[in-house]
Amino acid sequence: MSDILLVEDHKETSVMLAAALEEAGFGVHCAGTVKAGKEFLGHNSPGLVILDLQLPDGCGLELCRWVRGMENLANIPVIALTGQDELKDKTKGFLAGVDQYLTKPIIMDELVMWVKALLRRVDMDKSGGAVLTLHDLQLDVKAQIVKYKNSPVGNLTTREFELLYALAKNSPRIFSRKDILAGVWRTVAVENLVDTHLFNLRKKLPPELSEKIQAVAGKGFRYLDER
């Protein structure tokens, strides 16, 4: 999983946040100042930055603006942690390039949820962010729209779309349940969750398309179009 830079000067908060992120499978580097954050980013490119807005040597937004101004870092997602929840304060943050605001006290599960969601967005952007076409199947990543033989396939959940996209894009690669949980959904859950979502996905797809998603005994699942 991606590494994360956590910029938080309050030691107890930093330890708690880092522990929650590491439990979710992420590597975490902690910094306590704007200067330390810049020094780390000068030599590293983490998958995501989480920063407090009130730091000993300045405002976290200063670091966010600096990140957005660096060509090699500009697209890194930034989550801001703040005790200020007024619209005017959030507006300043979004104008500085913040992707998401979380108000203190931080709910750990919500933080992990947003980290995973923003990293999924980055992965999809890297894939081209346009339309994946595989014979009669089309998947629009940004709009999360699926078409088969030019007919829309509706009502797919985000996880169902991500599963279909990963299988189709990497066809004929076989994905184990662990591959899907960790690599596609970036979550830690029981493996039968994959079977549940796959069952629901197949029900929503046209039969001809559903049949292309194959179970490989003892290994996992793949998308196979044999034409």
pLDDT reported for residue 189: 66
pLDDT digits (tens, 9 = 90+) for 114-168: 898 788 777 666 655 567 888 899 998 878 889 999 999 988 898 899 899 989 9
Contact 159, 151 (CB under 8 A): no
| First vs last C-alpha separation in the chain | 34
Model confidence band, residue 1 (pLDDT cutoffs 50, 70, 90)? low
Cα torsion angle, 227, 154, 192, 113, sign: positive
Contact 93, 86 (CB under 8 A): no
pLDDT reported for residue 60: 93
Reading the block at residue 77, the tokens are: 């997602």
Residue 25, phi-psi category: left (phi > 0), alpha (psi -120 to 50), beta (remainder): left
Q: What is the largest CA-CA distance in the chain?
A: 61
- Which among 46, 48, 138 has a CA at the least distance from the CA of 100? 48
- Which among 104, 91, 116, 115 has a CA at the least distance from the CA of 184? 116
Contact 166, 172 (CB under 8 A): no
Span 175-186, average pLDDT? 82
pLDDT digits (tens, 9 = 90+) for 181-222: 877 886 666 778 899 999 999 999 999 999 999 999 989 999
Tell whether omega for the bond before 152 is within 30 degrees of 0, i.e. cis. no
Residue 13 has pLDDT above 80, yes or no: yes
pLDDT digits (tens, 9 = 90+) for 38-97: 999 999 999 999 999 999 999 999 999 999 889 889 889 999 998 877 777 777 888 888
Instruction: Please tell me which residue, 23 or 90, carries the higher pLDDT value.
Output: 23
Domains of the chain, earliest start first = 3-125 (3.40.50.2300), 131-223 (1.10.10.10)
For the ranges 27-36, 59-68, 167-176, the lowest mean pLDDT is seen at 167-176
